């Protein structure tokens, strides 16, 4: 598999951050080998993110859409995010739930400087709102670390879904 194909397949694992897949490609001699499906891409990709600087990590967090935000309303979510948000029922929010999400999104973004990120797989709207209400109380450093953990969970879920396709 060449570099372009690798990035085409794995570039969306981390939301709008194909640089993660590109660095994984660069980390080994991929040009002369076929990607081993048993290879632990999850660990390799996570290691690339963890080795990156704070600004790269912040950019990665900021690349995520807001939950039930304007990207969802305008149909501009990535294919993966749209599927994930649909699966959590975010498109079926009551007017009260939608307004609470909008209010929480605004307060969270103002406080932390990036959108609220949660791996929504297996969660429903109530679970997401409960987590949102709790996490907005976190310190900036604690929430930065929590958001990165959630990004890694999302990547793991996306890799698992990709392997089923």
Classify 53 as helix, strand or coil: coil
CA-to-CA distance for 116 and 104, rounded, in angstroms? 9
Q: Is the dihedral of CA 78, 98, 104, 144 positive or negative?
A: negative
Give the residue numbers marked as catalytic: 64
Report pLDDT digits (tens) over 28-51: 654 444 445 446 889 999 999 999
**Closest among 34, 35, 57 to 46, alpha carbons compared:** 57
How far is residue 146's CA from residue 136's CA, in Å, rounded to a whole number?
11
Name residues of the chain where pLDDT drops below 70. 28-39, 69-77
pLDDT of 71 reads 58
Under 8 Å CB-to-CB from 84, ≥6 apart: which residues?
A: 120, 121, 154, 157
C-alpha distances out from residue 165 to 8, 22, 109, 119, 158, Å: 15, 22, 34, 20, 11
d(CA 155, CA 31): 24
Q: Give this prediction's pTM.
A: 0.86
- DSSP labels, 57-110: HHHHHHTSPPTTSHHHHHT-S-HHHHHHHHHTTGGG--HHHHHHHHHHHHHHHH
Q: What is the pLDDT of residue 72?
A: 59
Query: What's the CATH architecture for 66-164?
Result: Orthogonal Bundle (1.10)
Give the model's pLDDT for residue 74: 59
pLDDT of residue 83: 78
State the DSSP H helix or E strand holding residue 161, giving kind and residue range, or none if neither.
helix 140-164
Sign of CA dihedral 121, 99, 115, 5: positive
CATH 1.10.3330.10-classified regions of the chain: 66-164
CA distance 107 to 84: 23
What is the C-alpha to C-alpha distance for residues 100 and 67, in angstroms, rounded to an integer? Answer: 11
């Amino acid at each position: 598999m060449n570099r372009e194909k690798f990035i085409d397949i794995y570039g969306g694992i981390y939301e709008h951050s194909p640089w993660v897949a590109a660095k994984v490609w660069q980390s080994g001699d991929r040009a002369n080998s076929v990607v081993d499906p048993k290879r632990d891409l999850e660990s390799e990709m996570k290691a690339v993110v963890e080795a990156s600087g704070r600004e790269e990590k912040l950019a990665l967090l900021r690349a995520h859409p807001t939950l039930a935000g304007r990207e969802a309303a305008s149909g501009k979510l990535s294919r993966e995010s749209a599927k994930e948000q649909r699966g959590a029922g975010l498109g079926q929010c009551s007017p009260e739930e939608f307004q609470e999400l909008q209010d929480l999104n605004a307060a969270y973004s103002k406080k932390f400087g990036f959108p609220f990120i949660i791996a929504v797989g297996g969660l429903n709207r109530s679970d997401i709102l409960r987590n949102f209400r709790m996490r907005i109380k976190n310190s900036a450093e604690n929430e930065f670390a929590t958001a990165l953990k959630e990004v890694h969970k999302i990547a793991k879920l996306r890799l698992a879904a990709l392997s089923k396709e």
